[in-house]
Every structure is written in structure tokens, then in C-alpha cells.
Structure 1
Amino acid sequence: MIHANTDSEWLPLYEALASPVRLSIINLLASNPMNVKELAESLGLSSAIVTMHVKKLEKAGLVQTKMVRKHGGTHKICSLAERSIAIELPQPVPDAKKMHEISVPVGHYTQFEVHPTCGIATVDKTVGQYDDPRFFLEPERMNAGILWFGKGFVEYKVPNYLLPGQKPLALEIVLEIGSEAPGTNENYPSDIYFELNGKDIGTWTSPGDYGDVRGRYTPSWWHDKVNQYGLLKVIRIQEDRTLIDGQHMSDMSIGEIGLDRNFWTFSIGVKEEAAHVGGLTLYGKGFGNYNQDILFRVFYEDARSN
């Protein structure tokens, strides 16, 4: 799934959709992969015109092409690269100027307990060997752009930059995440829990471990048959409850979290006794479909001004 918003970087996507011909191409490819000649014949257009439209769809990340040997020749086959698109419109927030944002790399965990299948990698190489939890202690893991495990947890310490008199109103945690199947499997549910300062803020069931197409930012050396991308999730703890992507996740409120300390402790994992023990994969900068690490955004008001 593509998670888009109103930032200008998504203009190629919206431009790609603003064409009856390109929408027709998407509808045709939803049934079967086709080459440019087949698309042109179905649409009653020249191959040159269809090629131009396909390039726009490729640029938008909606269509992918690959060379395939077929009927004694080599053909450029087009297929859909995504299943769906979600567009997030700007949400009202308490005084957007009063916010602290902290980006925490996925390898900067301070505690962990992981079980195979597991591994960790930077944008340049795998750290150590697959399925050996000892390498989660390797100093180079601080540069990690991806990590995965079958069950267990990782824990992060997040500095609190709120000043005396600044009252937290909401906290957002934004991260790209998926399950961890041997290889990949889009139907591989996993109950992933989230804790903040020792408080259970909720559990989300990841649908699967995605690898049908390469991640938009995944390094070229990364193997095609393993984790490629996840889903971008936005957890929001506010004054009355906790939401994930705008949907109720728990009744935990911002006042119960205890944000009046020098740092916060965020844990994420999969419990052995969960109904769906499907592991988890965390994507950071240089991997997946979103070029970001784990983002923490705290919105606040200055109590001294009230």
C-alpha cells in the first residue's frame, strides 16, 4: 500500500492518476500483467503513446516493469506495483509550532531479547549472520536501517526535551513496520505490542511480511526474496485515548504515561503467548517505502501563558 499525503513529493502520484488513459492501464493490469504492445492494442493507441503513460505510472510507483523471455523473444512486461493507496490529509493538532520531534534510528535500542528468525543490516551490508541474536550486540548495529525477529522485543530510550511549564497534549510515534515470515508472506499475521514507560499502549495485528515488490528505498544489494517494505503506522496518545492511524487502539491517555521524566522508554515486540506470533520487521532510513527512522512527536502547550 502507498501511504501518501499532501507533501509536494507525491505530485507525480496524483499526476499519474489524473488521466483516463492511465486509469485504464491500471484497470487492465489489475487483471493480468501485459506488455506495451498488448496494452496499446487493448486501448487502441500507439505503442509510443502507451510507453509514455507507463513511464509516468512507473515514476509514481504504481506500475513496475521487467524483461521476461516469452515465445522465443524478450518482452517488457508491465504489472501493478501496489494494491492500494491511502492519502492522509492534514490533521488539526494543538498549535503545530509547539512540538518537539525526535528521530531515533532503529539500531539505537538500549535493550533487547530476540529469537530467530532474526537479523539486522545497515544500508551497506548485513551485520553478522542471520538468526544469531548475538549480533544484536554488535556495535555496528547502531547504523542499522532494518532489523527483524520472530518473537521478543527491542527497547529504546527517547530524550524528553519538554521544559518546565510545557504541558504535553499528545504524543505521536511514527514507524514503518511489518511481520517477520521466513522469506516473505503477505498473509502472515503478527500481534505486535507497544509499551511506553512500562505502560501498555496497545497491540496492532500486522497483516503480513511484504516482499511482492522491492521497497522504494531498499538497497540494490538486498535480496529480492526477503523483507522489502512495511506499513507506515501512526500511533497517537492523546488526552482521552490512544489511536493507531486514527482508529481506537486503547484507553491509555497522555496523563497516564508519565512524560515528566528526563527520558521515555519505548518497547515494541511480539509475545510468545500472543494469538499470532508472526514476529516483526522494523524499517529505518535506507530501507522500505519510507526513508525515515522511528519518529517521536510531542505536542505541548505552555502552561505559563494560560
Structure 2
Amino acid sequence: MELEVNEQQLPIFEALASRTRIRMIEMLKQESLNIKEMAERLGISSAIITKHVSQLEEAGIIVSETASGKRGTQKICSLKLDRVSLLFRDDHAVPSEPQEQPYNRYTSSIPIGQYTSYHVKPTCGLASETKLIGMRDDPRYFSEPEHVSAQHIWFASGYVEYRIPNYVTGRKPVSSIRITLEICSEAPGYDEDWLSDITFFLNDVPVCCWTSPGDFGNARGKLTPPWWEAGNTQHGLLKTLLVTDEGTFMDGIRLSGVTVKDIAIAAGEEIRFRIASLEDAVHPGGVSLFGKRFGNYEQDIVVTIEC
């Protein structure tokens, strides 16, 4: 494969700019390996290896799939690319039409307060970096224009829905949608054992239901502002939702057979992302969301779409 040297290919070059990731590629040239095997061979933790794997996956250098092992589900990694030639300039080729880049991918960061529709029930509320927005447990304040500055949102049941920017050209079908966000359950005050079945929708398609293990308030959030009282929710968990042509995954674990084709994303059409706590769920435990100025992780809702 030929790769033109330009800014669009930075994710690939950045993925290669690491001694550890190069050593991982060298190992994967010989055989496919799981996270634990690579961690043991390199003498570093599985958590760090997982981060390196994510960066190599996003660059399209490796591919991973989940498989059942002796001790549960494991992530098997293998090389996706065999050979790449770098094109610094091409003085001879004169293409008759613009050539597609070998990778078509973009990332958007959506503030949690920029939802475009909602329907929520108490307990509920919104907080910015500096204050409460409106009053607690009054859904009317979710329509307050200041909601766009929210850094923490919570509701016991219902949903919030976002519009994901659609820069898809239509030349190639969408191959994956990756959404990373900080999220947890919503209990009165907080309860670290408060289960909540949270359902994620894309274009009205329920792609999966993930059970949040609790509403976290024992330890103060690293980014939670000083004015926010102890005894309230402090932080969530950083979760990654991935929809591909093989199904829908949460942190690499397959949760449903819904594929990216089922979502029917087309050029010029809106992409709607809904986060819901349904009243008829087995564990109807609400939703808490955190922006880049609240909780433990300095990020908003980060969406990557790849074709």
C-alpha cells in the first residue's frame, strides 16, 4: 500500500513513534497474541498494553477480535498491514481524478451539555464548572439555554440525545463508530453498588445495553470542582462503545449483534446518539455523565467514525 505523507496520515505516524508499539508490531509479525501475552513479554501492565493496542487499531495498523479463552473473553491482536510505501512526492504519476486517501476517518468531541433533545425524570439536574444550572430535580431546566455549558448531567430515567457531525462523503461505507465517554449510574446522593442498565441508540437503533456497576462518590473526582459537595456523585467510568461490521462492543466485549450497517449512515444524513435509562429495564438505575471539567477524565463525548 502507498501512503502519501501529509497531515491526514498523522495518526499512523504517531502510532509508530513509540518503542513499545514498534516492539508490539515486531511480535505480531510472528504470531497473533492476546493482551496478557504481550504484557508478559514486554514486562509492562495489561492496562498500558490496552492503550497501545487502541492507538494501533485506530491507525489501522493492527486489528483485534474477541475470543473465548480458558479464563473468559480475551482480545486477540494481529497485524492488519503487510507493507506500506511512503510517498513524499510523485513527479510522474498524473491521476485522471483525485485519489482517495487510504484512510478516511474523523474524530469529533461533543460537550455533554450540547444535547439536542431529552426526556428525563428526577432525580435529575445539570451543573457547569462553576455552579448548578437551574434547580435540582426539575426537568424544565434541561431546556435552559445554559445547558450547553453543563459539565455534569444526571437523571433517574429517560434519555439525552446528541447529533454527531456527519462528514461522511459516501465514497466508502462506514466501517466503524467508536464513542468514548465518562458515565455511571444515578442514585439519590450516590451508591457505589447501584446497578443501572444503560441503553445506547444510534439513529433510533438500540445498539446495546450495558450495566453500570454503580454511582461513584466515595472518592472525589480528579477534575470535580471544589464547590461540588461531598456526598454527591463524583466521577464515572471511562467506557468505549464500538460498532463495527462484526457487532457492537463495550471495551472490547461483544454485547450485541447490531452492526454498523444496521445504523444506515449516509452522506448528508443526521447521526443521532441517544443515552437512555429505560423504566422497564431489569436495573432501571439512571445515568450520570461527565464532561472534561468534571469527574476523572479530561474529555467530552469523543466520537470517531471510520470508512
Question: What is the TM-score of this pair, normalised by structure 1?
Answer: 0.68
Task: Give the Cα separation in 1 of the matches to 2:47 and 2:115.
Answer: 30
Task: Give the Cα separation in 2 of the matches to 1:256 and 1:272.
Answer: 25
Letter in 2 for 1:217: L
TM superposition shift of 1:226: 0.4
Q: Does 1:204 align with 2:168?
A: no
Task: Give the Cα separation in 2 of the matches to 1:168 and 1:274.
Answer: 30
TM superposition shift of 1:167: 2.7
Mapping of residues 21-40 of structure 1, within 5 Å: none
Q: Does 1:272 align with 2:279?
A: yes
Task: Give the Cα separation in 1 of the matches to 2:183 and 2:224.
Answer: 14
Letter in 1 for 2:249: L
Which residue is equivalent to 2:157? 151
Q: Is the 8 A contact 1:159 1:262 kept in 2?
A: no
TM-superposition CA deviations, 1:17-71 (whole Å, max 9, x none) = xxxxxxxxxxxxxxxxxxxxxxxxxxxxxxxxxxxxxxxxxxxxxxxxxxxxxxx
Letter in 1 for 2:180: V
Which residue is equivalent to 1:93? 57
Which residue is equivalent to 2:170? 164
Which residue is equivalent to 1:233? 239
Question: What is the TM-score of this pair, normalised by structure 2?
Answer: 0.68
Letter in 1 for 2:150: A
Q: Does 1:262 align with 2:269?
A: yes
Aligned residue pair count: 219
Query: Could you list the runs of 4 or more consecutive aligned residues of structure 1 that deviate by over 4 angstroms after TM superposition?
Result: 94-97
TM-superposition CA deviations, 1:159-190 (whole Å, max 9, x none) = 21111313321110111000001111100000
Gaps of at least 5 residues in structure 2 are 1-14, 16-45, 61-102
Q: Is the 8 A contact 1:123 1:144 kept in 2?
A: yes
Question: What is the aligned-residue RMSD (CA, Å)?
Answer: 2.0
Which residue is equivalent to 2:134? 128
Gaps of at least 5 residues in structure 1 are 1-5, 7-84, 301-306
Letter in 1 for 2:153: L
Q: Does 1:139 align with 2:103?
A: no
Task: Give the Cα separation in 2 of the matches to 1:161 and 1:153.
Answer: 25
